[in-house]
Amino acid sequence: MYNPNSKDASKSSIRWFAGVPTPDPLQALSSNNQPYLKESNAMILKRWCLVASVLIVANLVITAPLVSAESFRAFRQQNGLQDYVPPEWFLKGYFIAREKNPGYVFGPVQDFVGTLGGITTWLIEDMELERLKAASADGKKIEYSMFLEAVSSDRTEYWVFVALPYESAQAWYEAMRAYHGGKAEGYYGKTRGELERALSQGLNIKAELRFWIENGETSLQAPEGVIMGRYKFQPVFDLGTGRRLDPAPRTK
């Protein structure tokens, strides 16, 4: 029971008379816990930042393959590409990787495919396939192009090969001259002699890696330097010196 004559009552009356506010026990408790509350808020903020970081990383991991898949499907559709199984003589053959003045011979083609990683698929344009079928029906062997698609989580590449169905360097040169006319000697005369030396040493050159496309953009770099630099795919023959390069280091 409240006793107006108690010491507590007297102190309260003096505070009221002097205009001094009476201390609130809840407020005092709150002020004493302020450092703890600040620390708790900081911990909660750190946890939310950590959760947000995990979600962002997970989203990137999930969406990257989806974006890559969408890009190669769109590229196939835009260019009329369909699955294709190259002939064995092409896959087991060697190739050059620069259209004008190639420096090296690489191969075989199937070994290069194994260095790319990801999911690889051979493709051909629908119109190119019709042209090839028509030539085959007439008993003709012609050059034709194929796309080697390599899909990984961060990019999609297309390596465009041209099949060379020639049994000699002279036959290859005649095909170049039929297309380029009088310019063929200046463009390919030197290469003809170099290819003859390679063929004489048992290297059946059955393809030319003409150019490559990465994420929809055609590169201006010659494939020759790219496959040696990025994929460490080393040549087997030096066209300039006319010598084999053994052993030919291979990647995965």
State both tokens at 198: 């390679």
- Average pLDDT score over the chain: 78
Question: Is the backbone of residue 233 left (phi > 0), alpha (psi -120 to 50) or beta?
Answer: beta
pLDDT of amino acid 35: 53
Alpha-carbon span 247 to 252, nearest angstrom: 16
What are 138's strand-pairing partners?
A: none
pLDDT of amino acid 43: 60
Query: What is the average per-residue pLDDT within 144-171?
Result: 92
pLDDT of amino acid 60: 36
Q: Tell whether the model's pLDDT for residue 26 goes beyond 70.
A: no
pLDDT range class, residue 233, cuts 50, 70, 90: very high
pLDDT range class, residue 176, cuts 50, 70, 90: confident
Query: What is the average per-residue pLDDT within 114-134?
Result: 95
Higher-confidence position of 230 and 26: 230
pTM (two decimals): 0.70
User: Does residue 249 contact residue 233 with C-beta atoms inside 8 Å?
Assistant: no
What are 150's strand-pairing partners?
A: 120, 157
Higher-confidence position of 149 and 35: 149
| % residues pLDDT > 70 (the chain) | 70
Alpha-carbon span 231 to 148, nearest angstrom: 15
